[in-house]
Amino acid sequence: MRKLLASLCLFSSVAVVSLLADDITVSAKEAKELYGKPGVVFVSGDNTDVYNLNHVEGSVNMDAHHLHHSDITGDMHCAPLYMCVDEAEKFIGSKGIDNNTMVIAYDDFKGPNASGVWHYFKSFGHDNVRFVNGGIAQLRAEGVKIVKGTEPKATPKTFKIDPKKINHKISVDKHEVLKAVKDIEINGDKSQYVIIDTRRIEEIIGVSKLDNVARGGHIPNAKFIEWTNFSDATKKFSYKAPEEMQAVLDKNGITKDKTIYTYCHVGAGRSSYLMTVLEKLGYKNAKVYVGSWDEWGNDWNMPIRR
């Protein structure tokens, strides 16, 4: 993939220039060059248990599965945002991140959890964020120090979200998804919409329910393409080769002229990962349904299939 000069970051009077492949990922080698630089914070998207066993030294933890703000009933209070603005500002600042910070997200290597952190920051208009292609596995191979232990206490900083910079182009709420469901019902393959369910088959058919969600099943008229079709687990990279990923989409009739909504259980994870796949392959109108099944399955007004 051709490289572009994608980031010129000023950190405490120190200019850091990094050649990045795109505005989504960095290689482990590129991440190593940024590691330890002033104004750069590494963020693990894995859960606390995984973080405690295996994390980049000095990094903070932002469990992707818990980045969305639904309450115990699945209600999203500021949809399609992951959190309400004041809540997000406080949470991000508590991790030692301000508006000038470059965020380098990573996970166990597969991609979804790191992509959740990436999408979370992008949705709030913080574009100075990338995630590591290959995560921990490739960072360790490059010699970045990986340690065990609990999360270090960060020095809180001030992070402010500009309402004008919130990125409404990469997320949708349940009402927009419901509109797509109805349009596909009427127009079939001629619909301008495609809904993709990225979850495991056990979740899709409703025999497995996460987080005590009220109903199991899937959104009507969704296509089923599990995220594992794209992650190169055998080589410990976050993505397979572009031609392999495109072949999966072609097989499922996913064309670039459609508006594509991806969903999983919470949004930050498997569906945000698929959105990055689509973006890397030139699909210009792919969006994450933030809240995903955690919201839809708890809303008895929303139709489901099993």
Segment 108-158, tens digit of pLDDT: 989 999 999 999 999 999 999 999 999 999 999 999 999 999 999 999 999
Q: What is the pLDDT of residues 198-208, one digit of tens each?
A: 999 999 999 99
Where along the chain do its domains lie? 4-163, 171-296
Q: What is the pLDDT of residue 233?
A: 83
pLDDT tens for residues 252-299?
999 999 999 999 999 999 999 999 999 999 999 999 999 999 999 999
Domains 4-163 and 171-296 share a fold: yes
- CATH code linked to domain 4-163: 3.40.250.10
Cβ–Cβ under 8 Å, residues 130 and 26: yes
Q: DSSP string of 102-163?
A: EEEEE-SSSSHHHHHHHHHHHHTT---EEEETTHHHHHHHTT--EE-SPPPPP--------G
The CATH homologous superfamily to which domain 171-296 belongs is Rhodanese-like domain (3.40.250.10)
Contacts of 60 (CB under 8 A, 6+ apart): 41, 42, 43, 44, 95, 96, 97, 151, 152, 154
Which residues have CB under 8 Å from 247's CB, separation 6+?
none
* Whole-prediction pTM: 0.91
